[in-house]
């Protein structure tokens, strides 16, 4: 039987946000894992689902094959579809959206650029590395300050926690320390314990070293090499549609 939802994804923080949410919501879904270094995200078939040529994206077969792209928009769609992981009153919903936007406009882009300049580009542009790592650290301090007073980012555990957590867990890969941020660490550890989160990180499996930040083992080097190919070529040639 066909799953309710198809998730187009890869083993990245933005992809894992959605697989974790789907696991938390216990929605039946199937994975289509795209090879980003090979440019599968630029195939016409996928561009019809996400014209931006990026993962993640979903197609909801239970809603007339409705396609959604942008990880934040997907999380909101899933929360609204199920009435879970986000309150329905205006203020509660707004609190969740504030911390979701904080991740989408801040944590994700800053850590993403830190990864590009710190890990992937062959040239080491130190001012760029410093800028993105410092801004990432500043955002972590904002999270830590808020979590000093609150168990979760916005009321109960929500899509805002999932979105931020999927990036924060990879802080070592971006070269950004969480030393001296005990509340962020407490929250990071608590979310990591959730069975649905652990299942979501397996779909597809997170590269071990992405979270641990080591660069000296073969797995980390292979991951960085593939990401470098994608960043340097900018727009990989799409393989033949199959
Ligand atoms: N704002 C987008 C970002 C999506 C994004 O950048 N996805 C990356 C993987 S995390 C990707 O597909 N990269 C492929 C490429 O750069 O060609 C979202 O949150 O969905």
CB-based burial of residue 178 (10 Å sphere; 0-12 exposed, 13-18 middle, 19+ buried)? Answer: middle
* 78 and 98 share one domain: no
Q: How confident is the model at residue 212 (pLDDT cuts 50, 70, 90)?
A: low
Atom of ligand 1 minimally distant from the CA of 54: 12
Any atom of ligand 1 within 6 Å of the Cβ of 55: yes
Q: Which residues, including other chains, have CB under 8 Å from residue 100's CB and lie 6 or more apart?
A: 72, 75, 76, 159, 160, 163
What percent of the chain has a predicted confidence (pLDDT) above 70? Answer: 91
Strands of the 57-60 sheet, one edge to the other: 29-33, 5-9, 57-60, 66-69
CATH code, domain with 159: 1.20.1050.10
Give the per-residue pLDDT at 242. 39
Residues of 13-44 as b/e, b for ≥16 C-beta within 10 angstroms? bbbbbbbbbbbbbebebebeebebbbbbbbbe
* 59 and 108 share one domain: no
Q: Ligand 1 centroid to 10 CA: how many Å?
A: 9
Give the per-residue pLDDT at 60. 98
Q: Is 217 within the bounds of a domain?
A: no
* 54 and 129 share one domain: no
Q: Ligand 1 centroid to 228 CA: how many Å?
A: 14
Q: Is 20 within the bounds of a domain?
A: yes
What percent of the chain has a predicted confidence (pLDDT) above 90? Answer: 83
Are the beta carbons of 75 and 24 closer than 8 angstroms? no
Domain total of the chain: 2
- List the residue whose alpha carbon is closest to atom 13 of ligand 1: 54
* 65 and 121 share one domain: no
Give the per-residue pLDDT at 109. 98
> Which of 20, 54, 67 has most ligand 1 atoms within 8 Å of CB, for mutation?
54
Examine the pLDDT at 209 and tell me if it is beyond 90: no
Any atom of ligand 1 within 6 Å of the Cβ of 230: yes
CATH code, domain with 61: 3.40.30.10
Picking from 82-91, 156-165, 193-202, 209-218, which range would have the lowest pLDDT averaged per residue? 209-218
Q: Is 136 within the bounds of a domain?
A: yes
Structural domain for 125, as ranges = 90-200
Give the per-residue pLDDT at 241. 47
* 78 and 94 share one domain: no
- List the residue whose alpha carbon is closest to atom 15 of ligand 1: 54
* 96 and 152 share one domain: yes
* 56 and 153 share one domain: no
Q: How confident is the model at residue 175 (pLDDT cuts 50, 70, 90)?
A: very high
Mean pLDDT of the chain: 93
Give the per-residue pLDDT at 129. 98
Q: Is 209 within the bounds of a domain?
A: no
């Amino acid at each position: 039987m066909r799953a309710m939802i198809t998730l187009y994804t890869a083993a990245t923080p933005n992809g894992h946000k959605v697989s974790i949410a789907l696991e938390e919501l216990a929605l039946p879904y199937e994975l289509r894992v795209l090879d980003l270094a090979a440019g599968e995200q630029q195939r016409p078939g996928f561009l019809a689902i996400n014209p931006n040529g990026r993962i993640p994206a979903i197609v909801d077969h239970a809603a007339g094959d409705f396609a959604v792209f942008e990880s934040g928009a997907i999380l909101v769609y899933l929360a609204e579809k199920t009435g879970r992981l986000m309150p329905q009153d205006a203020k509660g919903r707004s609190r969740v959206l504030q911390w979701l936007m904080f991740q989408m406009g801040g944590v994700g882009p800053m850590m993403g650029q830190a990864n590009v300049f710190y890990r992937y580009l062959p040239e080491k542009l130190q001012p760029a590395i410093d800028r993105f790592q410092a801004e990432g650290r500043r955002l972590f301090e904002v999270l830590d300050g808020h979590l000093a007073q609150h168990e979760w980012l916005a009321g109960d555990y929500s899509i805002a926690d999932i979105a931020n957590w999927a990036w924060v867990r990879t802080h070592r890969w971006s070269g950004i320390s969480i030393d001296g941020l005990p509340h962020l660490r407490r929250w990071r550890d608590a979310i990591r314990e959730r069975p649905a989160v652990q299942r979501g990180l397996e779909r597809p499996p997170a590269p071990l070293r992405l979270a641990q930040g080591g660069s000296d083992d073969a797995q980390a080097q292979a991951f960085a090499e593939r990401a470098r190919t994608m960043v340097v070529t900018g727009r990989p040639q799409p393989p033949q549609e199959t």
